[in-house]
Chain A
């Protein structure tokens, strides 16, 4: 994944609260291999009737509160990324969605979208390092992003590579844990599966 620190592009509005990941990509499409592209599944069941967000070439989505709540399906992020989106700006995000977004280079920017909404559809410029969003010909507004995620997005870091530096620590931790609590390493006892309802 390549990092990025600036992006300017066409921003569109999806003016709804609680857009869950089931809406971002309905479950029935999720058996598709990623290589086939997920962009066409984005918000599939909300399409039609000139949806304000459905504009070719858009790369920034301005959305309502609690965007990406619900299922942990990372496919919701794939759908946005494959449809060409680089950033979603919303008053708040589902936690798992936001983490998934960062892992795929998609910015989940937390901002007061009131001022931006009036500038849409239109072009926005995002500066990751400074933490600003600027509408064309307008004043910049700030956005919130976990600083860890910011660094990760800018550098395009991959967690597996970062973690590899700590292999010795991990091995030592696992050894200690196994000594202290060996039962955490499961070994079936062959015991009869107990009745599932003994507590009532």
Chain B
């Protein structure tokens, strides 16, 4: 009896040491501009890239989203990746490439991530790729250098956790809410040391885009990775993607993918289940993704929390400029951002556009599609017009205001409703105040100028 994770683990072990560490084969290694430390390490040892064909670079963290940058540091970061791609001969979706975008959007979209793969990247949100029945996890620069040099990675087997979602989501509730809900319930380290498998009818019912969102946020609950077993919907979604196998080869591969599942009765080290009936649209109020609550709730009161939690909560509220007991829907926002590897796929943009169509945003904001193909698709559907007519800025694809490395930042003290994944202090810029929520909820906040329940805005729409 094996879990899905056991199957993926077993398929990649080259050798296990007596102490339990295993040497694992890496099927796909994604790089971005932040990989410069790893290349410096490689150069210091005089080593090259062992398998450039299995290595793919994407410019996302530092790419400008509004035309060429004037910042020499930012330009140098993107140019360094281009230089390394040229020197080592791996594919790069860089500036101006029609496939460019955020690495965790681009990999699945291009069919470069496939079920059964072990995928690594020097980025914690590599957990995203698990939505395709793959095992994706983030690694640090030393490990990136190791993968470049050997196409392998050393790991100890994580424990296995299953998170089961029963029922069906109410309108206006989706993968982002499911993710923030479980992280609030179990804590930002609730799944630490575990490989998480998402299961249950509500997960099965998610489109692939939603599964990508759910797996993306696994790391925010401390999980090593998150995954969903492949099904017919996924296999259909993969068919025809540029780097996926085609024709008869695809069919042969798909037979194997369909077998990637946990055996009925397979044992997990931890199990939790959630009922969709108890999940409303969620927003965060603090500085950790675990600081999340239904939009219908109020800012929590540290006086009612355990002493340990109280001081952290008070600090978070102080940073966020919130009062205990204040209704979340009374919290005014200064700006909005729709983007990131969490929620900038075409389905996310459609969900936001469905709220914004025919309405005006009362605060400024930016919409950055997850990839250049998503951008083209959105433009073909006229979504860009909806955003622009609502008063939001439609920009190019990249990590953008999720992390602010390219200069797209939230100013100190400003409050941003954001479809991203981290509300850490200073994440969107020094002193920035971030509230995480789904793209539809961001759109609702844009229209009202405060945190808002999206559900009334959906009445009579899509």
Which residues of A come within 8 Å of B, CB atoms?
16-18, 20, 22-23, 26-28, 30-31, 33-34, 45-46, 64-66, 69-75, 77, 92, 94-96, 99-100, 103-104, 146-148, 151, 159-160, 162-164, 166, 169-170, 173-174, 177, 181-200
Contact = CB atoms under 8 A, between A and B. Distances in A.
Contact of A69 (B25, B139, B188, B224): B188
Contacts of A96: 124, 138-140
B53 A193 contact: no
B112 A45 contact: no
Given A23-B426, A99-B143, A166-B15, A200 B54 contact: no
Contact of A191 (B25, B74, B99, B246): B246
A31 B62 contact: yes
A17 B291 CA distance: 12
Nearest to B124: A72
Most buried by B among A18, A22, A75, A195: A18
B315 interface: yes
Given A159-B146, A193-B373, A148 B124 contact: no
Nearest to A34: B37
B70 to A, nearest CB: 15
A28 B404 contact: yes
B456 interface: no
Contacts of B272: none
B222 A31 contact: no
Given A72-B122, A170-B151, A200-B347, 12 more contacts: A16-B315, A22-B425, A34-B40, A77-B140, A94-B222, A96-B140, A99-B140, A163-B150, A181-B116, A184-B28, A188-B242, A199-B208
A173 B424 contact: no
Interface of B: 14-15, 17, 19-21, 23, 25, 27-28, 34, 37, 40, 45, 47, 51, 53-54, 56, 62, 73-74, 76-77, 98-99, 109-110, 112, 114, 116-117, 122-124, 138-143, 145-146, 149-152, 154, 156, 158, 187-189, 192-193, 207-209, 219, 222, 224, 233, 236-237, 240-246, 249-250, 253, 256, 287-288, 290, 308, 312, 315, 345-347, 350, 371, 373-374, 377, 403-405, 422, 424-427, 430-431
Nearest to A185: B53
Contact of A72 (B76, B110, B138): B138
A64 B312 CA distance: 10
A196 B403 contact: no
A129 to B, nearest CB: 15
Nearest to A190: B242
B186 to A, nearest CB: 12
Given A27-B405, A34-B40, A170-B152, A184 B374 contact: no
A81 to B, nearest CB: 12
A18 B236 contact: no
A170 B14 contact: yes
Given A28-B405, A31-B62, A92-B189, A104 B237 contact: no
Given A16-B315, A72-B138, A99-B143, A26 B73 contact: no
A146 B158 CA distance: 12
Contacts, number: 224
Nearest to B425: A23
A95 B189 CA distance: 10
A71 to B, nearest CB: 5
Given A74-B141, A100-B141, A166-B23, A22 B424 contact: yes
A28 B256 CA distance: 44
Query: 6 smallest A-B Cβ distances: which pairs?
Result: A100-B140, A183-B245, A103-B142, A74-B140, A197-B346, A74-B141
A163 B53 CA distance: 20
A164 B256 CA distance: 32
B77 A31 contact: yes
A174 B25 contact: yes
Given A30-B34, A66-B188, A163-B154, A196 B373 contact: yes
Contacts of B27: 177, 184
Nearest to A32: B73
12 contacts: A18-B312, A20-B424, A28-B430, A45-B430, A95-B193, A163-B146, A185-B54, A187-B243, A189-B246, A196-B345, A196-B373, A199-B347
A147 B62 contact: no
A197 B208 CA distance: 9
A23 B368 CA distance: 25
A42 B112 CA distance: 36
Contacts of A173: 14, 25
Nearest to A101: B140
A160 B140 contact: no
Contacts of A65: 189
Contact of B151 (A27, A72, A159, A174): A174
A183 B253 contact: yes
B257 to A, nearest CB: 10
Given A23-B424, A100-B142, A163-B146, A197 B377 contact: yes
Nearest to A161: B45
Most buried by A among B40, B45, B424: B424
A140 B290 CA distance: 34
Nearest to A67: B189
A163 B188 contact: no
A188 B97 CA distance: 15
A27 B404 contact: yes
B23 A103 contact: no
Contacts of A18: 188-189, 287-288, 290, 312
A70 B403 CA distance: 12
Contacts of A71: 123-124, 422
A187 B422 CA distance: 35
